[in-house]
Amino acid sequence: MQNETLQLGRRIIQRFQSYKAVQFFLSSKFCSLFSFKMTPDQDSILRDDLLQPPHSVNGMKKLDREKFTKTIKVPYIVSSIQDLPKVLKVAKKYLLKMPNLNAVQTIDGTCEKKIILDPSKLKECLASSERERPECFTIKEENIKMCDISLTYDNWLAEGIFKAVLPVDQEGVSSWSIIGHIIHVNLREHLLDYKSLVGQVLLDKNKQARSVVNKANSIDSTYRTFQIELLAGDDDTLAEVKENHCTFKFDFSKVYWNPRLGGEHERVVNELSDGDVLYDVFAGVGPFAVPAAKKRCRVLANDLNPESFKWLQHNVKINKVADRVTVHNKDGADFILQDIKADLLKCWGEGNEKNIHITMNLPAMAVEFLKNFRGLIAPEEKPANFISPIIHVYCFIKNAEDSVKAAKELVEHELGAELGENLKKVFLVRTVSNNKDMMRVRFTIPECVLFSNLSDESEPVAKKLCLRNADE
């Protein structure tokens, strides 16, 4: 009779897989098969918020760790030490997994182990098909019991703390960046009252961090810097990070660095080969220039920000690539019109047949500098062994149905020419916000743009010349 009743209970759970079906199963006569009997308050193990911090912390602005303590009832099973490996083989995916919580505990004064289960997975555990397989160790129903455990501030990650504390009807703190020992967060205006708590929580939950800062204003397009406000920890913005097997040092409060672009830096550098040439127009502290030089590329790197230029020089030195990198502290337009032009003519004069790449990572305004390539080289200086340089230009696209198409058209507009076969690929680098994408357009410079006298002409003239040359 008991077997028939148990099978019926399992069928209820497997068929309906719902809260009411499980509650019925756990609180009805079927529970007589187990060593624990659900009292009216014990069915709270089915609550969605059981494993969340107490509701009382919502709205907290000054961190009080003691107020996160709560006691809950959880299911557990008992196993002898000898049977523990077999039991864990079946039960491991149902264990209660929380920070600083040991799900397997020794029962005082015995040789038995208490294995704490995740309440949200209890119905799955009870209905598990693994218990039907004879080759697996069977978890006997009489071994499933209930116990009280105490959860504290240490048992939740930062995300769980923020979800419990911050306003539930507004955007919370969902992400942050780690730059060496610094955690960087962008707080919305409605969260500024919670900034002290946010800073302290992030410091507590990231042991490698010593400082938490908030961006206090928008990025300045000229130097790509922003004011930062210390939320918690040490007032020390001198960071050291590792990226693409290189070391970078810089003052985070004075230069631009985004750890989310590490993969993009690597993708571009992977397109370079030994002996290639790289012109980095907006080099920052060197995330393209330094690893490119490590690949034995010859690099001309430039940045207008004096602080970026200082740390670019430093990073070139500490990564031991100074013999392959020439650094400049100029406006991007001057760097193109003077240094890139001169070096292109030098490369072609020496018969260099390696690829030449140009990176332009200033997405807020880099495309505006493309006009400096119009008529950069006089037609009579065009070499017989001409290989068109490859440009990687970054831009932001906002509120576009097709960001790829919009990025291509933006580049063509600034060049004053259609790309046609010169377009190699348009990449989505990352989605910055719901209506804003960061894009990279990779293309070779059309000859009709590079070798012309159109630098002072209107954009339609350049486009017409490209189309005419294509027809010829």
Judge whether 328 is annotated as a binding position.
no
d(CA 51, CA 54): 9
Question: Phi then psi for 76, rounded to 5 degrees?
Answer: -150, 160
71, containing H or E segment: strand 70-80
174 Cβ contact partners less than 8 Å away, ≥ 6 residues apart: 159
118 Cβ contact partners less than 8 Å away, ≥ 6 residues apart: 51, 74, 94, 95, 96, 97
Token couple for 308 = 């970026």
Question: Phi then psi for 217, rounded to 5 degrees?
Answer: -155, 175
Q: How many CA atoms lie less than 13 Å away from 297 in the CB half-sphere? A: 27
CB 299 within 8 A of CB 316: no
d(CA 355, CA 392): 13
Token couple for 457 = 């002409």
d(CA 303, CA 309): 6
d(CA 437, CA 440): 10
Token couple for 249 = 């040092």
Beta bridge partners of 242: 247
425, containing H or E segment: strand 423-433
Pairing status of strand 182-185 against strand 211-215? parallel
| Angle between helix 195-205 and helix 158-165 axes, rounded to 10 deg | 160
DSSP SS3 for 106: strand
Judge whether 361 is annotated as a binding position.
yes
Judge whether 304 is annotated as a binding position.
yes
Judge whether 332 is annotated as a binding position.
yes
Q: Which among 363, 343, 353, 339 has a CA at the least distance from the CA of 428?
A: 363
CB 465 within 8 A of CB 423: no
End-to-end CA distance of the chain: 92
DSSP state letter for 265: H
Residues in the chain: 472
Helix H segments across 64-120? 84-91
> Which positions make up the binding site for S-adenosyl-L-methionine?
265, 303-304, 331-332, 361
Q: Which residues are annotated as a binding site?
A: 265, 303-304, 331-332, 361
